[in-house]
Amino acid sequence: MPYKFKPHRMYRMPTHFGPSAGPRQGEEGREFANVDAPKWTGWSVDFITNREQLTDLLPEGFGLEVGAEPVVTVRATYITEIEWLAGRGYNTLGVSFPAIFHGKDDHVTGSFLTVLWENLCDPILTGREELGFSKVYCELLEPRVYRGETHCTASWMDFKFLDLKIRSLTQLSAEEIVALTSTAKGDGTLHLKYFPKTGEWGTPEVCYVTFTPSSGTNAVITEAWRGEGSVEFHEATWEDMPTQFQIVNAIGGLEIKAYRGAWMIRGVGGKDLSDQRILR
């Protein structure tokens, strides 16, 4: 007989085999604590660019504007011991900048996540469909450390599109970590969730701003270092990256007026992001 959708359970395609497991729903619907896991290490580089170039990356008519400073953050994060993946891990590469949302009901300040590359399909699907993160796939190898320099790379089917390098690291004190945590969060992270309407390809089925609050997390920074860094996105042709060349070239085209430092941060814990919501 035809199946019925179970109330209050999360589904994603294919739905025919029952509720789907993921970060916000384990087997039999259980939740994950995200206290002693996952463990993560992030490498990031900040640089100042043109405000006008960042404004071009924001959609018209959605209440979004560039924040106080046009600072771009490129961050590669390597995550292990993830509970909802039964102890497995994956890596991410995000590009974001400060933004402000002025809506009818909501007014928040945070960072706008333009794109988040990941090297595993499962978090891409759950993050795109359920949360509205702009997630796409790429290969992200573990960073290479040689003679005091850390080198992170990203590629798609053997085309390397990113080199991120960090050097001259100095470890932060416990007091400096507290100060870093208090100033870096803002209200949270902003995203534009978009899905086209089937058969009407220029028309969105879904198109709105979603928000990840910075509060309510179990994430704890255990160690942090500050240093110097550089980042380079290599120009891609359609033949190099048929579905992503425009992303790489737009980011690579941002002027780097000055670097604002680089960071290595280690931590543990997080949250399942079930507090994700639509901004209005």
- Comparing CA positions, the residue from 230, 236, 229, 228 lying closest to residue 138 is 236
Let me know if 12 is exposed, middle or buried by CB neighbors in 10 A (0-12, 13-18, 19+).
middle
Q: How many CA atoms lie within 13 A of 30 on its CB side?
A: 8
In terms of Cα–Cα distance, which of 225, 43, 212, 230 is closest to 140?
A: 43
CA 198 to mean position of chain CA atoms: 27
Each residue of 73-99: pLDDT tens digit?
Answer: 999 999 999 999 999 999 999 999 999
241 phi and psi, to 5 degrees?
-145, 80
* pLDDT for the residue numbered 185: 60
Single-letter amino acid, residue 238: W
pTM above 0.95, yes or no: yes
Phi and psi angles of residue 150, each rounded to the nearest 5 degrees, phi first: -100, 130
pLDDT band for position 186 (cuts 50, 70, 90): confident
What pLDDT does 77 receive?
98
Tell me, what's the pLDDT at 8? Answer: 93
Model confidence pLDDT, tens digit, residues 30-72: 999 999 999 999 999 999 999 999 999 999 999 999 999 999 9
Dihedral (CA of 237, 242, 248, 250) sign: positive
The verdict on whether omega for the bond into residue 38 sits within 30 degrees of 0, i.e. cis, is yes
- List, in order of start, the domains of the chain with CATH numbers: 35-278 (2.40.400.10)
Q: Which one, of 96, 94, 102, lies nearest residue 65 by Cα?
A: 102
Q: Please give the structure tokens belonging to residue 28.
A: 């039999």
Query: How far apart, in whole angstroms, are the C-alpha atoms of residue 243 and residue 256?
Result: 25
Q: How many CB atoms sit inside 10 A of residue 91's CB?
A: 23
Q: Which two tokens stand for residue 49?
A: 């660019």
Which residues contact residue 220 at a Cβ distance below 8 angstroms, ignoring those fewer than 6 apart? 267, 268, 269
**Cα 280 to Cα 278: distance, rounded to the nearest angstrom:** 6
Q: How far apart are CA 44 and CA 165, in angstroms?
A: 9
Condensed to tens digits (0 to 9), the pLDDT of residues 202-225 reads 999 999 999 999 999 999 999 999
Nearest-10 Cα torsion for 102, 106, 111, 113:
-100
pLDDT tens profile 143-158: 999 999 999 999 999 9
Looking from the CA of 254 toward its CB, the CA atoms found within 13 Å total 33
